Amino acid sequence: MPPSLRRLTDSFGLQLSKEQLSVVARLGSGSACRSIYSGFVEWQMGQRDDGRDSHAIAMQSDWPGLCIGLIKVDASVKATDSRSGMQRTVETAHLYQSWPLQAAADLQLLKQAIAEQNFESLGRTAEHNALSMHATMLASWPPLVYWQPDSLKMMHKIWKLRQDGLPIYFTMDAGPNLKLLFESGTLAEVMRQFPDMEVIQPFGDV
C-alpha cells in the first residue's frame, strides 16, 4: 500500500480494510485502486452505479524473475486525463462496443498465463490488449491520441528486438509511456538496449 495513503487514513483515524482503501483510491484514479496490493492484482469492474463495488483484489500468484521496465517518454500532465478520455471513448467510439468482450477474454488468457508462468502468452496478451485499448480511444471523437513520436519509436524498437530473438513485450496505460515485460535472464541485454529505464522485479529474482 502506498505510504501516503496509509498516512492519510491514519491521520483521520480511519480503520479501513484494503478493499475499502481500494474503493477510495479508485475515486481519484482507476489505476490507483490496484496499488493497494503488491504483486498480481485483478480490478473488479463492479455493478453498482456509485462504483463502491469496483475495487482491486490480490491474486495469490507470484512469478520470480518477472521484470517490468519503465520507459518514460513524457512525464508531464496529460492534456486529456484518463477519466475524461474514457468517458469520451464510451460516448463516441463505436469500437468500444467490442472492448468489454475483448477485455474479458484477455483477462482469462492472462490468468492462465500467470498460473502456467507462460511468459510468451503473458506478454503477447498484455501488448495486444494495450494496443487494442489505444485503437479504441483513437476511434473516439475528437480522437484521443496519447502516443508521442518517441512512443512509436520505442514500439518499433521492441518489435525489431523481438523479431531478432529477444523475448520482450510492452504494455501501456492511457498515456505515452511504455512498461516493458521481460524476464531476469534477459535483464542485462534489455538494460543495454534501454539504459535509462527503471526496472522493477515485484517478486524478486529467480
User: Phi and psi at residue 77, in whole multiples of 5°?
Assistant: -65, 135
Amino acid at 115: A
Domain that holds residue 157: 62-206
User: In whole angstroms, what separates CA 36 from the centre of its chain?
Assistant: 14
Which of 11-25, 109-123, 160-174 is predicted least confidently? 11-25
User: Do 155 and 204 sit in the same domain of this protein?
Assistant: yes
Q: Are residues 1 and 79 in the same domain?
A: no
Q: What confidence tier does 5 reach under pLDDT thresholds 50, 70, 90? A: low
DSSP string, 138-203: HTSSS------HHHHHHHHHHHHHHHTT---EEE--SSS-EEEEEEGGGHHHHHHH-TT-EEE-TT
Contact 70, 173 (CB under 8 A): no
pLDDT over 90 at 78, yes or no: no
What is the model's pTM? 0.86
Q: Are residues 178 and 172 in contact, defined by beta-carbon separation less than 8 angstroms?
A: yes
Residues 112 and 200 in one domain: yes
Residue 82, C-alpha cell as written in the block: 484518463
pLDDT at 107 over 60: yes
Alpha carbon 194 to its chain centroid, in Å, reads: 20
pLDDT digits (tens, 9 = 90+) for 24-50: 667 666 677 777 777 888 887 778 777
| CA-wise closest residue to 140 among 102, 178, 180, 84 | 84
- Based on the fold, state whether residues 36 and 105 are members of the same structural domain: no
Question: 79 and 9, same structural domain?
Answer: no
Find where cell 480490478 sits: 43
Task: Indicate which CATH number applies to the domain containing 122.
Answer: 3.30.70.890
Q: Measured between alpha carbons, how far is 85 from 79 in angstroms, rounded to an integer?
A: 10
Both 165 and 89 in one domain: the answer is yes
The model's pLDDT over 139-157, given as tens digits with 9 standing for 90+, comes to 999 999 999 999 999 999 9
The total number of structural domains in the chain stands at: 2
Q: Which of 13, 37, 60 is the last residue of a domain?
A: 60
81 and 29 co-located in one domain = no
**What cell numbers appear for 186 in the block?**
534477459
SS3 state of residue 89: helix
Choose between 89 and 4: higher pLDDT: 89
